[in-house]
Amino acid sequence: MKLSNSNMDKYEMRRLALKALSDKLGYGGKAMIAAKIGKDSSYVSRMLYPPKKAGRKRIGEDMLELLVRAYPDAFKEIATMSRVLDNREATNYVRVQHIEAEAHMGPGRINEDFPEVVNSVEFTPNYIRSLIGFVPPPGRLKLITGTGDSMSPKILPGETVLVDTGCNTFVGDGLYLINTGSGQQIKALHERNGYIYVTSMDKALYPDFVADENTIIGGRVYLIQHLERVS
């Protein structure tokens, strides 16, 4: 099956390669694939859903790697094309992975599955340097989606934030990805009177409290990609 159409979405190319493999394996093919990659059959079925079908699971970079390891012949061409795209102008851009994980802007959210890479976004080094002050090593910056409304209007539900996951200590007042024991949260940290307070925009529902020794800092937020309603 030739999949060299440059106008085809890369996720659709991966889906078609998976469909070709499933068809080749015949009856029980989905179950065989699922067993090899450590997922259940329903997960494989969702990866085979057409683009606009509800519940579809796109084949991200991590899942593609699992499929390549399990069925190298079936995904050899796709993997080669992905490497070519990933290496394109690598020295001129900072590639940031958008992972399929959510950070709650409320009580917290636990991401049970190992996060899949949804896509990658490229930034110029100068832009990253203007945000952070330096260009971090590859893989350190991540894009994560926020849920909940405790940080509204600063961060609205569904907006994506750029997180420096290499920042695991308090380095000054600002927005951080933290875990106080109930999952990942996006919160503001402020130092007052020698204590670090965890704060929300909605103080009526989420009053400020002091971060204790069990609070884990997973990264610092440097950029919010705002959603804009189109009228």
Residue 82 pLDDT grade (very low, low, confident, very high; cuts 50, 70, 90) = low
Find out whether 217 and 169 touch, Cβ atoms under 8 Å. yes
Q: How many CB atoms are located within 10 Å of the residue 74 CB? A: 20
Question: What pLDDT is attached to residue 215?
Answer: 92
Residue 83, SS3? helix
The answer to the question of residue 230 being in a domain is no
Q: Residue 101: pLDDT above 80?
A: no
State whether 102 and 72 are in the same domain. Answer: no
Q: Return the higher-pLDDT residue of 176 and 83.
A: 176
CA distances to 1, 17, 91 from 71, in Å: 15, 11, 31
Q: Return the higher-pLDDT residue of 189 and 63.
A: 189
Listed in sequence order, the residues at least 6 apart from 117 whose beta carbon sits closer than 8 Å to its beta carbon are: 60, 61, 62, 97, 98, 99, 100
Q: Return the higher-pLDDT residue of 146 and 161.
A: 161
State whether 38 and 111 are in the same domain. Answer: no
State whether 68 and 23 are in the same domain. Answer: yes
| CA 103/CA 184 separation, integer angstroms | 5
Give the pLDDT confidence of 32-53 residue by residue, as tens digits: 999 998 888 999 999 999 888 8
Span 188-214, mean pLDDT? 91
Tally of structural domains, the chain: 2
Listed in sequence order, the residues at least 6 apart from 198 whose beta carbon sits closer than 8 Å to its beta carbon are: 178, 180, 187, 188, 189, 208, 209, 210, 211, 215
| CA 24/CA 32 separation, integer angstroms | 12
- Identify residue 141 by its one-letter amino acid code: L
The answer to the question of residue 3 being in a domain is no
**DSSP secondary structure code for residue 136 in this structure:** P
- pTM for the whole structure: 0.59
State whether 136 and 175 are in the same domain. Answer: yes
Question: What pLDDT is attached to residue 86?
Answer: 52
Of 24-38, 46-60, 80-94, 127-141, the least confident: 80-94
| CA 59/CA 29 separation, integer angstroms | 17
State whether 31 and 143 are in the same domain. Answer: no
Q: Which range among 2-16, 73-87, 147-161, 171-185 has the greatest average pLDDT?
A: 171-185
| CA 145/CA 158 separation, integer angstroms | 6
